[in-house]
């Protein structure tokens, strides 16, 4: 069975919003006959459409042909495209005839303008979330999510999150092994869960020196085994005192605090995405006991682990209805 996937672009679209998902959907077809996906890039007028980077892409004019999945790409021109009667009509028609309608980044504005997201949960690039909420107050914006599935509609955060979205769609169609194989071909981590934050602790720490970056990478890879600052200092090639001073100067926090945040971030993903006992998660990630992890969660997220698991489950049930 070959599924037809349509990518909707417009002048000033973000090139990686298109090429990331496009490449992901290409991968399963390299070793399958017939190919599982037929890919088509469409636009309002057809022909060459210039992206915000200046690179143009050949497109076909939007028409009445049916797709299995439609993906509205994001970019600077999404806001103008969302006001086009032809674009909105295309999206509304797709919502009736397609199995799935999705968006990447500010492509969510196109779905919102077509009325597809009223009363639903959705996400977009973090920088556009506030504007989306003001323009469309009936949407429940989850601005800290990689992607959100709501019924047959999926919305994703910006740029590289489009790859995570595509891998999730591939997994839904062809199974986890096909999605993992595509991820390996793309040389990316097997897709981030939709509930994962658009930001990461490693990004927030903003370490500048190679020594501190090396220590952070070591900590992230060995969270369950890091027990002292001396271990991180050794990874950085410094004495514990030198490392502690350098780390604080670069990140604004102590190594112990940073490790706690890294553990909380990893634990949150496992708590929200699995039924694994919270006590087991605390132990394997490196918290000495569940109570220590609970305190870390309250400091970091304002809520204990049990509350975040309940919220994630409620959202998942709503998305499947």
Residues 6+ apart with CB under 8 A from 251: 205, 206, 207, 212, 258
63 is catalytic: no
Per-residue pLDDT reduced to its tens digit, 218-229: 888 888 889 899
Take residue 109 and report the two structure tokens written for it.
């504005």
Say if CB 81 and CB 20 are below 8 A apart: no
pTM for the full predicted model:
0.69
Say if CB 69 and CB 98 are below 8 A apart: yes
Judged against a pLDDT cut of 60, whether residue 85 lies above it is answered with yes
Per-residue pLDDT reduced to its tens digit, 285-305: 999 889 999 999 999 888 899
Judged against a pLDDT cut of 50, whether residue 320 lies above it is answered with no
Choosing from 42, 72, 105, 182, the catalytic residue is 105
Residue 81 exposure: Cα atoms within 13 Å on the Cβ side = 27
Burial class of residue 92 (count of CB atoms within 10 Å of its CB; 0-12, 13-18, 19+): middle
Burial class of residue 116 (count of CB atoms within 10 Å of its CB; 0-12, 13-18, 19+): buried
Per-residue pLDDT reduced to its tens digit, 125-174: 988 888 999 999 999 998 778 899 988 999 999 888 999 999 999 999 99
């Amino acid at each position: 069975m070959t599924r037809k996937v349509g990518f909707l672009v417009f002048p000033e679209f973000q090139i990686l919003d298109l090429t990331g998902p496009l490449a992901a959907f290409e991968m399963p077809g390299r070793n399958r006959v017939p190919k599982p996906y037929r890919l088509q890039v469409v636009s309002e007028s057809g022909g060459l459409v210039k992206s915000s980077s200046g690179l143009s892409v050949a497109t076909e004019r939007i028409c009445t042909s049916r797709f299995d999945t439609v993906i509205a790409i994001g970019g600077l021109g999404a806001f103008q495209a969302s006001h086009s009667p032809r674009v909105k009509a295309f999206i509304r028609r797709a919502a009736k005839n397609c199995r799935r309608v999705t968006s990447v980044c500010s492509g969510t504005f196109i779905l919102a303008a077509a009325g597809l997201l009223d009363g639903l949960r959705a996400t977009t690039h973090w920088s556009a979330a506030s504007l989306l909420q003001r323009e469309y107050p009936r949407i429940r914006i989850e601005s800290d999510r990689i992607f959100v599935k709501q019924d047959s509609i999926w919305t994703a955060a910006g740029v590289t999150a489009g790859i995570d979205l595509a891998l999730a769609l591939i997994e839904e169609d062809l199974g986890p092994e096909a999605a993992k194989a595509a991820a390996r071909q793309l040389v990316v981590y097997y897709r981030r869960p939709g509930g994962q934050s658009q930001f990461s602790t490693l990004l927030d720490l903003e370490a500048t020196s190679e020594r501190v970056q090396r220590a952070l990478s070591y900590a992230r890879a060995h969270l369950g085994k890091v027990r002292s600052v001396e271990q991180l200092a050794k990874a950085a090639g410094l004495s514990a005192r030198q490392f502690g001073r350098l780390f604080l100067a670069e990140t604004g926090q102590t190594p112990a605090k940073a490790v706690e945040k890294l553990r909380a971030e990893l634990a949150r993903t496992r708590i929200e995405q699995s039924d694994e006992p919270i006590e087991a998660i605390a132990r394997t990630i490196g918290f000495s006991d569940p109570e220590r992890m609970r305190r870390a969660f309250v400091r970091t997220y304002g809520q204990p682990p049990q509350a975040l698991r309940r919220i994630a489950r409620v959202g998942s049930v709503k998305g499947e209805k």
